[in-house]
Amino acid sequence: MTRSVRKEIEDLRKEIERHNYLYYVEAAPEISDREFDRLLQRLRELEERHPELVTLDSPTQRVGGQPIKGFRPVRHAVPVLSIDNTYNEKDVRAFDGRVRRTLRDDQPCYIVEQKVDGVSVTLLYQMGHLRLGATRGDGHTGDDITHNVRTIRDIPLQLRTDHGVPETLEVRGEVYLTTAELSRLNKLQKEQGEHLFANTRNAAAGSLKLLDPRQCAKRRLRFFAHSEGRLEGLKVTAHGAFLDFIRDSGIPVVPHSPLFDSIDEVIAYCEEQFEARHAFEYEMDGLVVKVDNFAQREKLGATSKSPRWAIAYKVELWQASTRVEDIYVQVGKTGVLTPVAALKPVEIAGSTIARVSLFNADEIRRKDIRVGDPVVVEKAGKVIPHVIRVELEKRKGRKRPFHFPTRCPACGGKVARDEGGVYIRCLNPSCPAQLKERLRFFAARQAMDIEGLGPALIDQLVDQELVRSLPDLYRLTKDQLLGLEHMGEKSAQNLLDHIAASKERGLRRLLTGLGIRHVGERNARLLADEFGDIDKLMKASEERLARVPGLLGQVAARSVYGFFHSEVGRKTIEELRGFGVRMTEEPAMRRAKAEGRLAGKTIVVTGTLKHFTREEFEDLIQRLGGKAASNVSRNTDFVVAGEKPGSKLDRARELGITVVNEQQFLRRIGKRAGREG
């Protein structure tokens, strides 16, 4: 054997592990699967010729062992505790309260991790080499599943040594299956006459119980690390630093794990993640909130079952099987083409679901959703329902893949994908479908609040070409309206009166209604308060817009600047100005001084309000000179409690702060319940 053969084997192993790291940890592969397989095959050939050079941590040894006779029990050096969980925000806030009371002046920083729905597994590395894989078991004793863990290509058999390896490193995480892999696996199970798996967790658990690693390897299991166990020779003082270390060592960690200083930020992030569940290729049933600092964890301690420094904020999941009867594409107010699946109606959690968004072309392709397919639909808490996966094992006959339209389905205009994004848009600003959506948004309560301008009427106005732009609303005459279906003399006059009244809504409501990308109620308020009138706003550079406190950065700034410097944007503003639409807004401080019934008062709102959205109510507080705070403290003057108030109400009572309901608050400020003009 020549020295060059040994070197080629060593180089191939390093190259293969590097590509595994790029693929599984960095999600940035440099070569195709076929090229990767060629490297692996070359290594396999060399090792077959020189078996004396085969090592346990060679990439070729992921599948190679014989079936085992049974599982050996393994005692965990550090117990694997379970984590308390909840399904409501109130308990998460209560957890935060307990943490802060215990730590006192040593305030916590929280790290939030996705709770991937898989099987809990512990990996033990000694001097950088994988020595053991074990199940959680009862938390004290699990099963040795090393033979199956070694088949999971996410899991490195040897850690990257760029920055040294600890003597002992115990990593805990979840072995999981992607939703696409579950569909593929169930199809194979059916073809072989085997039982079908109910969900991804069930399939992952069943795979790890196999005695033959060659069979487990066929299941394409995946792994995410999320916790630490026994550590020797590794000095880290916080969980985030531990995750960074093992990620750099080649172990994939649970994605989307940011740090937050306040529980409000934690809860807002959790809600965002719940909404985004459809985009993940794996099942995620909640998020785990952990105190980041290890010293603080020691101070907080644990019960016999659970640590006091962590809580799982879960989302209730309901699923049902149904069938896709059709797929069609809708066009939104900004031109986004959104595919929608028409379903055979199915009841989930008390609601009848007949259609669901498929979000974008990539989503359809990734899940391979086709007309006629049997699918699993999920509804998670307040989140809109979505398709989890296709039940490939039930797909009958050949079904044609859905081809996303290359022209706008509403106007036939050109479409293009966002640069670096997933959305495909109609590029025709005169597209009638876009116009209908813009009109609905313009007339909405939080925008120009034009009562009586509903979807059916908007359809008629656009279809009969009475309205071709937003300013055309102010050109409508009674004679034109009387020519429409279901429109009488009184209804026509009422609509004209409401359209006329909308001219006085002010800059904030106008900006909300214009439908500028990335400008909703919040950003509209920030812009209105910052500039005060439309002319100052239109003169602002992109850099100046990006500096508006609280605005969503460069992306929103670019969108606002682009709108006001486009031909359509400038024309829209000038025409609206010509009809007398008010385009000014008293900045918040001047409004407060003018109306200051609540001057100097700090007010917290909790629960659901009957007559206002949260944005409207907080805006009212600010207009009256008050401060709308998010947390109850000793500086809070009073709390307004709506229906189903959260832990803020309990906190207010603890501190002896005055609590009023919505009606009592309105009486205090001399206003009646109803809409704010």
* CA-wise closest residue to 165 among 131, 135, 136: 131
Last residue of a domain, one of 314, 345, 375: 314
Environment class of residue 272 by beta-carbon count within 10 Å: exposed (0-12), middle (13-18) or buried (19+)?
Answer: exposed
Q: How far out from the chain centre does Cα 574 lie?
A: 38
Task: Tell whether 379 and 479 lie within a shared domain.
Answer: no
Phi, psi (5° rounding) for residue 589? -65, -40
What's the first-to-final CA gap in the chain, in angstroms?
87
Count of domains in the chain?
6
**The token pair that represents 271 in the structure block:** 């809600």
Rounded CA-CA distance 206/654 in Å is: 49
Q: Name the band, by pLDDT with cuts 50, 70 and 90, for residue 438.
A: very high
Radius of gyration (C-alpha) of the chain in whole angstroms: 30
* CA-wise closest residue to 604 among 584, 573, 581, 627: 627
Q: For residue 558, is it within any domain?
A: yes
Cα atoms found within 13 Å of the Cα of residue 624, Cβ hemisphere only:
20
Task: Tell whether 301 and 326 lie within a shared domain.
Answer: no
Q: How far out from the chain centre does Cα 103 lie?
A: 31
Environment class of residue 423 by beta-carbon count within 10 Å: exposed (0-12), middle (13-18) or buried (19+)?
Answer: middle
Average pLDDT, the chain: 89
pLDDT of 88-97, one tens digit each? 888 999 999 9
Give the pLDDT confidence score for residue 594 in this predicted structure: 46
CATH number reported for the structural domain that contains residue 512 in this entry? 1.10.150.20
Rounded CA-CA distance 580/640 in Å is: 37
Verdict on whether the full-model pTM lies above 0.85: no
Of 13-27, 238-252, 550-564, the range with the highest mean pLDDT is 238-252
* CA-wise closest residue to 177 among 388, 395, 318: 388
Task: Tell whether 125 and 215 lie within a shared domain.
Answer: yes
185-199, 357-371, 642-656: least confidently modelled range: 642-656
Whether 571 sits among the annotated catalytic residues: the reply is: no
Tell me if 290 sits within 8 A of 113, measured CB to CB.
yes
**The token pair that represents 40 in the structure block:** 């692996």
CATH number reported for the structural domain that contains residue 367 in this entry? 2.40.50.140
Give the pLDDT confidence score for residue 587 in this predicted structure: 59
Last residue of a domain, one of 486, 504, 522: 504
Task: Tell whether 230 and 308 lie within a shared domain.
Answer: yes
Give the pLDDT confidence score for residue 624 in this predicted structure: 79
Tell me if 355 sits within 8 A of 342, measured CB to CB.
yes
Q: For residue 24, is it within any domain?
A: yes
Rounded CA-CA distance 359/345 in Å is: 19
Tell me if 273 sits within 8 A of 114, measured CB to CB.
yes
Rounded CA-CA distance 382/647 in Å is: 19
**The token pair that represents 28 in the structure block:** 């940035």
Rounded CA-CA distance 292/310 in Å is: 10
Q: For residue 626, is it within any domain?
A: yes
CA 410 to each of CA 370, 401, 416, 422: distance values in angstroms, whole numbers, following the listed order: 22, 22, 15, 20
Cα atoms found within 13 Å of the Cα of residue 536, Cβ hemisphere only:
13
Task: Tell whether 291 and 246 lie within a shared domain.
Answer: yes
Q: For residue 469, is it within any domain?
A: yes
Give the pLDDT confidence score for residue 648 in this predicted structure: 78
Task: Tell whether 148 and 172 lie within a shared domain.
Answer: yes
Give the pLDDT confidence score for residue 462 in this predicted structure: 96
Q: For residue 411, is it within any domain?
A: no
Task: Tell whether 304 and 323 lie within a shared domain.
Answer: no
Task: Tell whether 570 and 622 lie within a shared domain.
Answer: no
What mean pLDDT do residues 491-512 have? 95
CATH number reported for the structural domain that contains residue 109 in this entry? 3.30.470.30
**The token pair that represents 339 in the structure block:** 């595919």
Q: What is the number of residues in the chain? A: 677
Q: Name the band, by pLDDT with cuts 50, 70 and 90, for residue 294.
A: very high
Rounded CA-CA distance 511/551 in Å is: 14
Q: Name the band, by pLDDT with cuts 50, 70 and 90, for residue 550.
A: low
Last residue of a domain, one of 298, 314, 330: 314
Question: Strand 638-641 relative to strand 658-660: parallel, antiparallel, unpaired?
Answer: parallel
Name the 3-class secondary structure at 538: helix
Environment class of residue 266 by beta-carbon count within 10 Å: exposed (0-12), middle (13-18) or buried (19+)?
Answer: buried
Q: For residue 218, is it within any domain?
A: yes
Phi-psi region of 286 (alpha: psi -120 to 50; beta: other; left: phi over 0): left
Task: Tell whether 57 and 106 lie within a shared domain.
Answer: no
Task: Tell whether 338 and 202 lie within a shared domain.
Answer: no
Give the pLDDT confidence score for residue 675 in this predicted structure: 42
Residues of the chain with pLDDT > 70, as a percent, come to 95
Rounded CA-CA distance 19/5 in Å is: 21
Rounded CA-CA distance 531/545 in Å is: 10
* CA-wise closest residue to 511 among 459, 553, 556, 467: 556
Q: Name the band, by pLDDT with cuts 50, 70 and 90, for residue 672.
A: low
Q: Where are the alpha helices (DSSP H) in 339-428?
A: 361-367
pLDDT of 572-610, one tens digit each? 999 999 999 999 987 554 444 445 678 778 898 888 888
pLDDT of 45-84, one tens digit each? 888 888 888 887 888 877 656 677 789 999 999 999 999 9
Residues of the chain with pLDDT > 90, as a percent, come to 61
Strands (E), 2-109: 73-75, 85-86
pLDDT of 376-434, one tens digit each? 999 887 678 999 999 999 998 888 999 999 999 999 999 999 988 889 999 998 899 99
Give the pLDDT confidence score for residue 66 in this predicted structure: 67
Phi, psi (5° rounding) for residue 570? -65, -40
What mean pLDDT do residues 153-160 have? 91
Rounded CA-CA distance 640/651 in Å is: 13
Does residue 177 have a pLDDT over 70? Answer: yes
CA 183 to each of CA 361, 388, 486: distance values in angstroms, whole numbers, following the listed order: 19, 10, 50
Q: Name the band, by pLDDT with cuts 50, 70 and 90, for residue 676.
A: very low
Give the pLDDT confidence score for residue 167 in this predicted structure: 94
Range of the domain at 490: 432-504
pLDDT of 303-336, one tens digit each? 988 999 999 999 888 899 999 999 999 999 999 9
Does residue 674 have a pLDDT over 60? Answer: no
The continuous run of DSSP H or E covering 43 comes out as: helix 33-49
Q: For residue 51, is it within any domain?
A: yes
The DSSP code for 144 is B
Beta bridge partners of 307: 302
Catalytic residue among 7, 14, 115, 648: 115
Does residue 208 have a pLDDT over 90? Answer: yes
CATH number reported for the structural domain that contains residue 621 in this entry? 3.40.50.10190
The continuous run of DSSP H or E covering 2 comes out as: none
Give the pLDDT confidence score for residue 555 in this predicted structure: 83
CA 253 to each of CA 113, 173, 239, 243: distance values in angstroms, whole numbers, following the listed order: 10, 8, 12, 7
Task: Tell whether 536 and 645 lie within a shared domain.
Answer: no
Task: Tell whether 474 and 602 lie within a shared domain.
Answer: no
- The single residue listed with the structure tokens 């022209």 is 407
Q: For residue 196, is it within any domain?
A: yes
Q: Name the band, by pLDDT with cuts 50, 70 and 90, for residue 621.
A: confident
